[in-house]
Amino acid sequence: MFRMRLHPRRALRIVLVVSMVLFVILNFQMIPDSSEEQRLRNHHMVAGGGLAVEDMHVQLGNSQRNARHGDDHKSDADFRVSLSRPVHPKIVIAAGSNQTQPASLQGPSLTLNTSNLEEIKQEIQRLNKEQYVHNLDKFGLALGSESIVMVIQAHNRADHLKLLISSLSKVRGIDNVLLVVSHDVYSHELNELIGSITFCPVLQIFFPHSQQIYHNRFPGEDPNDCPRDIKKDQAVLKQCNNAGHPDKYGHYRESKYCQTKHHWIWKLRFVFEEVRLLEGYEGHVLLLEDDYYVSEDILFSLQMMQNVRNKDCADCRMLVLGNYDKSQNYKVNGGKVERAYWISSKHNMGMAFTRNLWTEIKKCGKEFCDHDDYNWDWTLQHLSMKCVPNKIRLLKMKATRVFHIGECGMHTKSKNCDPAAKVRQVETQLTQNRQYLFPNTVAVDGDSRFKLRDPKANGGWGDNRDRNMCHSFFNKSIPPFLR
């Protein structure tokens, strides 16, 4: 005979088990759903009457699917980091309405005669002024303090840019990003490539003082410029341009090396100060270059890093997603970050920061423009040591989320090695480490012990014309789209 007696102890055990089961169910089922509901509510609140509810459902449905697709090995931690739209966005443009921007606005002309530099100049002025955003109707925009705006500095390498874009298309949460592409070359090939992006809103801006337009005068190379290696007394005799202003090593300006620093600071200023959509934007801006390639958890990682920063490094003003370490151990370092002070050769790839740091850099604009180094990153390290209060402190991801595919490594002899081959290598590495991406936890793993110094200036930035033009970007007397 089997008789069951309910001992007090057994009753207690049953209550415990039941409440544990309930707890587990609540955690794994209810939280994502209720936060999804929360987001919906917020959308209704901020979007007001102008928004079709059906469209919102479609939009959120997509994000939800993106956030969950195919990752069986992921824990629920994924859902706690909001990869969806921000909770209290300051900047909101509803998707699906045809009022997002005037119908008369258009992206770059695909028929313009690109041999006619005057036409390009006019078109660039128009574009910088109008600030047409591709895909704005489709995605809308909601930007808050936890949002990310990506900015790509692009030159003329469409093949590289194409690979970067293909990596971006796979990034989880990319549909909530505003992508800004800053060009210093106007070409139909590049514009078509950007126009073909379908996964997020995209704004193209154009550096107006490009070598393409000014190919035979400053900031391009003027026929009367002094040759790099001419002696100063000979240069003065010859009366070539700015003979009195070689760099600290006695060399004269080489226009092809100056454009990148100009473009870099121009672009930052334009994004933070002139892009109307970003007025008052408080979130992060992530800087990329056209020959980078990114992992699909780059936004996820950046959002995890923001949480770590808030908890463990209140004075960190930059988050760095990439590094150049030869060996990457995702198993050990996938969820580890390191505290450090900014060093150009270590921290210049995949930098993210907010308006706060931009404001500090801007205050050092004179120092940036007058420092005799044509590299923006060495110049920034100089600012960190000599001008920005308390130096630029940062958190960096120990296992890189950004890859430089523009150079194929020291061991490769050939100069034109194949970027697609490099990407295949990176993809293999990422696939092998797939289970370590989207880490459940991200935590600080110590401080970099690297010695800091104010780097010796590399020169190449002695010419007054470069310094004056750089100053002019900050100068209020020039119309914003020309500055």
Ligand X SMILES: *[C@@H]1O[C@H](CO)[C@@H](O)[C@H](O)[C@H]1NC(C)=O
The SS3 assignment for 106 reads coil
Please tell me whether 155 is known to bind a ligand.
yes
Please identify, using beta-carbon distances, which residue of 98 and 356 lies nearer to ligand X.
98
The one-letter amino acid code at 44 reads H
Distance CA 158, CA 196 (A): 13
What letter would DSSP give residue 38? Answer: H
Distance CA 119, CA 219 (A): 18
Please identify, using beta-carbon distances, which residue of 38 and 116 lies nearer to ligand X.
116
Please tell me whether 291 is known to bind a ligand.
yes
Six-digit token pair at 154?
Answer: 């692009």
Please identify, using beta-carbon distances, which residue of 132 and 436 lies nearer to ligand X.
132
Please identify, using beta-carbon distances, which residue of 355 and 404 lies nearer to ligand X.
355
Q: How far is the CB of 305 from ligand X (least distance, A)?
A: 32
Is residue 212 packed enough to be buried (19+ CB in 10 Å), middle (13-18) or exposed (0-12)? buried
Please tell me whether 259 is known to bind a ligand.
yes
Please give the full DSSP string across 129-183, using - where no structure is assigned: HH--EETHHHH-EEE-TT-EEEEEEE-S-HHHHHHHHHHHHTSTTGGGPEEEEEE
Q: How far is the CB of 479 from ligand X (least distance, A)?
A: 14
Cβ contact 344:320 at 8 Å: no
Please identify, using beta-carbon distances, which residue of 364 and 457 lies nearer to ligand X.
364
Q: How far is the CB of 108 from ligand X (least distance, A)?
A: 17
Query: DSSP strand E in 290-349: where?
Result: 292-294, 316-320, 336-341
Q: How far is the CB of 368 from ligand X (least distance, A)?
A: 10
Distance CA 94, CA 246 (A): 53
Residues contributing to the site for ligand X (CB under 6 A): 98-99, 113, 115-116, 365-366, 471, 474-475
Planar angle of CA 9, 11, 12, nearest 5 degrees:
65
Distance CA 246, CA 251 (A): 5
Please identify, using beta-carbon distances, which residue of 72 and 118 lies nearer to ligand X.
118
Distance CA 355, CA 145 (A): 11
Helix residue ranges, H only, 170-281: 188-195, 232-238, 255-269
Please identify, using beta-carbon distances, which residue of 119 and 427 lies nearer to ligand X.
119
Please give the backbone phi and psi of residue 303, each rounded to the nearest 5 degrees, phi first: -70, -35
Six-digit token pair at 308?
Answer: 């770590």
Q: How far is the CB of 98 from ligand X (least distance, A)?
A: 4
The SS3 assignment for 285 reads strand
Please identify, using beta-carbon distances, which residue of 438 and 473 lies nearer to ligand X.
473
Q: How far is the CB of 190 from ligand X (least distance, A)?
A: 18
Please tell me whether 390 is known to bind a ligand.
no
Please identify, using beta-carbon distances, which residue of 99 and 359 lies nearer to ligand X.
99
Please tell me whether 106 is known to bind a ligand.
no
Distance CA 185, CA 215 (A): 12
Please tell me whether 175 is known to bind a ligand.
no
Six-digit token pair at 349?
Answer: 């790839």
Q: How far is the CB of 116 from ligand X (least distance, A)?
A: 4
Q: How far is the CB of 467 from ligand X (least distance, A)?
A: 9
Closest CA to 295 of 348, 349, 343: 349
Q: Which residues are annotated as a binding site?
A: 153-157, 184, 259-263, 291, 404
Q: Which residues are annotated as a binding site for Mn(2+)?
A: 291, 404
